[in-house]
Amino acid sequence: MDASSSPSSSSPSPTYPTDDEPLHSKRESNNNQNNVTTPSLFVDRSPLDQHVHSRHSSPATSPSPPSSPNTRARPRILASSYRFTSNTRFIISMLVLVSFASLAVILDSFTNHQRDVSGCQEIYMRPTYIRQTGFDSEMTRFAGKYALYLYREKDVDLSDQPTGIPVLFVPGHAGSYKQVRAIAAEAAFHYYHLYAQHPEIHEQGMRNLDFFTVDFHEEFSALHGQSLLEQAEYLNDAIDYILKIYKSDNYPDPASVMIIGHSMGGVVAKTMFMLNNYQPGTINTIITLSTPHVLPPAPFDWKISKIYDDLHQFWIDGYNLREDTTTTTARSLRDVTMISIAGGTLDNTVCSDSANVGAFLPSSHGFTVFTTAIPRVWTGMDHLEILSCKQLVHVLVKAMLDIVDARRSSQVKSVSERMSIMKRAFLSGLEDRGSEPISLGSLMYFDHVTYLDIDERLVIQGEQSIKGNHVTLLPAFGSNSDAFAILTDQALDEARGRFSLYLCNRHDGHSGVACKSADTLVAPVPASTPNDQYPFSGNTFSFASIEFGQMDGHGWIGIADNGDSNGFLIAEPFSTTDNSYRVDQSMSSIAMLGAHVQVNASLFTRIHIPAIENPMLAYHLTLTRECNDLGLFAPFLRQSISTMHESKFYVNVGNGPTDFTLHGRTAFSSMTISTADVDHQGFLLQMWMDPTTCQEPIQVDIAIDWYGSAGRLGFRNGIMLASFTFIIVILVLAGQIECYNRTGVFPHFGQGLGFYIRRILPVIMVAVGLCSIYQSSIYDGHDFGLDIAWEHVLDGNTDPFFWWLPLAGLIVSSGTVCFLWVVVDRLLLLCAYVLSGTFGTQRVLTWSSHPTETKQQRFQRRAITTFILFILVATCIPYQFVFVVAFLVHTVNCIRSLVRSWSSPSRVNRYHYMQSLLLLFVTLLPFNLPILVVWIRNLSVHWFVPFSSDHNVFAIAPFILYVELLTGHRKMLPRHEGVWRWATRGLFCMVVAYAFLYGIKYAHSLYFLANHIMAWFLVLHVRDSHYGRMAWRYLANHIWHPFLSKKHS
């Protein structure tokens, strides 16, 4: 329908002036009183300032000047691009269907596909928690909110007083102080049953561990930055108290503590260093379990996002200072080591990609490791299981006891000694040694020697060994080989194993050889036999690999056999070039065709695929071999990734498919792999197979598991849905306001969605797609000089393969907004029908009204109410609470506006506008409800001290004032043109641009963007008021026009 034609389907109906419409609409309505046949929807194309005819005169008696346009009211017609046609309804239905299907696939994939199997065993304990009553309000201002306890294991710890090395446990988000029990109980058993009986160990500084734990009353620290700061301040005070209660006559008093932080407790531990009450040197070792170091799990609070940014920069600066620097930052971090342990795929609470500390911590002071890589653990763990898994707790406790040295005031060994112990305990031993020297044992001699030929393989099985002082030598030289691989199902250990590994040289003047033990080269790997289904079965193999050039001048590898038991050993020389395969396919090629490589039969093989690095994809791996002889062991695999110490074993691999996933660089991480380290970039697959039974090559096929990848994509990009939903509502609202300014008709939200889908969405998708392509291209070496930190914008993705991810997020979010509108619209309609039928229409319309109240009295009452709300926000309640109240009030206003629109069609515009604002408020609830929950939680534990970060009156004032304006005066957004119209357009464009760029990483900023929009709406209302027009004319006549005249003159 042409915009100038009249409506064809609507019957004529009179319109009346109401308080729902702006001033110019009242004038139009009064004119229509004299022309009752005029349709209720009409458009006036004349400028707004030309509606100057009198309220009381009719067109017949008030002729217009000859030069003026016709002042007769023209019909309001909705532009064709806003019409809610059957095509629009079909597109919206399809978007909702696609959105629901996508979310259902993501949920099913995340919960049921590509999941690791947990092999954790339980720990039994008899806990006792002794509250430290001496740590009271005289020592900390949070004594009434938090509490400190000392753990004691019944029948093991015989004293209720601390007697060993202090360790402080920090629970995470909604965590309990009792979660320390598994680690503390295992430490007590380990020390008193294994170490306490040996006096010489006691003289070397070994002591038991005293575990202190903090009761935060299960506070939601992941949702609220101020709570996190309060916890960190309390812990610094607690450390000061703990160190004061230790008194020793024989050794120095403790001057520092070790910290174990679970989940957000690890972030709290890092934050302690930045606070004023931290005393340098009081923390020396931090072990974090499932801690999100890189990104906050829920970035809805501005304070927690700022804490993360400050922490990142603080720790980088702390380790980048010179050795002779004496600043507090350097003293705080110079002797601190940090180990981050992640649970992997089973952790549904914290994405393990975010556990990486490599972006701010040098390798000399810490590392990240996954539980699937820790020797003899080899299993994934969920977020809580990581605290009580027996295999991990045993390794963790032993490592902590090994770094203890009570002879030092720090209570622990030096940084280098601590890191050496931690690496032996937590790393797989299969990492690239590089130029690191090999630690060898003492020199010993063998008289009986068997020499193998060059490139000859050694196979020992069962009772085929030669016993006695005998060693078999394999030459470390040859025409085709440059390395050795040794695998056995026995302990490859000089002290307690059947086989021993040596590096040897011929002894001058004697027939024997001189050897040094090379047990440090040996790494445990999970056993792979037909009886082993998972790597955590409890059985192990021993594996060693060394290149000839790393043998420190030794010319032979020696294998000694004690012949104590049955078993096998295979030692094979190999060429690192021939046994290493590199798949140089792009990610796009792998997605379409898969990766395929054929490898020769060999004991140890490496396959390197640089393109597979992004953690958002899951894969299927298939091994195909013509012969199925079992041999001495079944084939097994190890996957690893270079960005973190993540490795995962797959044992007893047959011809069927094997699912695998990986972790790596998270979104919004600026840590990239150096081009000089390109050989170690990407995915590494190591394979072990028995080369003695089958000489046929093996086919390795890798394909993307798209369905299994859906859950990983959703888990890592969930914030995108909340951010894009807000942006889409803003775009729809902007389109509605534009239509209203042009035609005088405010379309309902569905019509606005139709306009968004037809006109706005294609443009936005092109713009976002180009930005995403550029964002990924700068990491391929194509930076076009734009001064933007592109790793911090959009979805934070720097992988060119995932340039389409924001576009998919837009489609899913668009369907979500469509569904949200349908739900809100139906709920409002249902509430209106129910309330009208129950109480009557008149009662609904007069709720909270005072019929006898004058305008001045109403204004005074509402002003006092608003002022009281401001006072409460500034003193005792968070502004998020007031936002929720404003949301509820606005919901009631929407229902009343809907009921009014039934009796007066001229009020439909206002209802459409109110409903759009309500949808905007709904998208802002996720940014306010978490803080409100934290506040209510504090009230439940009788903590009434207000948050210092959530009492900004300006953060809520525009919302309060605007809702109050809409409630008390039944106002409608004024139509505007000229500079005001362009200013509104510019504001919405800037809001949308900023929200797209930074709304995912800094999601809390979306609330403040909406706050600015509400403030601008208030400005428009003030400008349209009587006093506002007077002020505008004064400024124009006395400032603007004289300035222009002076400029031209």
CB atoms within 10 A of CB 189: 17
For 687-719, letters b (16+ CB in 10 Å) and e give bbbbbbebeeebebebbbbeebbbbbbbbbbeb
Alpha-carbon distance of 764 to 731, in angstroms, equals 10
What number of H helices and E strands is found in the chain?
26, 28
Q: Hey, what are 195's tokens?
A: 């170490």
Beta bridge partners of 543: 487, 523
Residue from 317, 387, 308 nearest 347 by CA: 387
Q: Which residues have CB under 8 Å from 956's CB, separation 6+?
A: 873, 879, 882, 883, 886, 1011
DSSP characters for 118-175?
P--------EEEEE-TTS-TTT-TTTTT-EEEEEEETTT---SS--SEEEEEE--TT-
Of 406, 410, 397, the C-alpha closest to 164 is 406
Residue type for 193, please?
H
Give the 3-state secondary structure percentages of the chain, helix then strand then coil, rounded to 5.
45, 15, 40
| Rounded CA separation 238/433 (Å) | 41
Task: Give Cα 344 to chain centroid, integer Å.
Answer: 14
**Per-residue tokens: 326:** 């004496």
3-state secondary structure of 522: strand
The CA–CA distances, whole Å, from 398 to 5, 184, 208, 258, 490 equal: 85, 12, 11, 14, 23
> What is the rounded distance in angstroms from the CA atom of residue 522 to the CA atom of residue 490?
11
Q: How far apart are CA 488 and CA 544, in angstroms?
A: 9
Give the torsion through C-alpha atoms of 736, 963, 819, 794, to 10 deg: 80
Structure token pair of residue 23:
């001033």
Q: What distance in Å separates the CA atoms of residue 236 and residue 1010, rounded to the nearest whole number?
A: 38
The 604-609 sheet, strands edge to edge: 580-582, 604-609, 683-688, 636-641, 646-650
How far is CA 482 from its chain centroid?
44
**Of 553, 525, 570, nearest in space to 438 by CA:** 553
User: Which tokens in the block code for residue 427?
Assistant: 């790393």
- CA distance linking residue 815 with residue 732, whole number of Å: 13
Cβ partners under 8 Å of residue 510, min gap 6: 445, 447
Integer Cα distance of 620 and 701 in angstroms: 8
For the chain, how far is it from start to end, CA to CA, in angstroms? 50
Assign 539 to helix, strand or coil. Answer: coil
Tell me, what DSSP letter sits at residue 976? Answer: -
Residues labelled as active-site residues: 263
CB contact set of 179 (below 8 Å; sequence gap of 6+): 169, 171, 213, 262, 384, 387
Separation of alpha carbons 583 and 608, rounded Å = 6
Give the phi and the psi of residue 604 in degrees, each rounded to 5.
-140, 125
C-alpha distances (whole Å) from 498 to each of 262, 468, 516, 562 are 40, 12, 17, 5
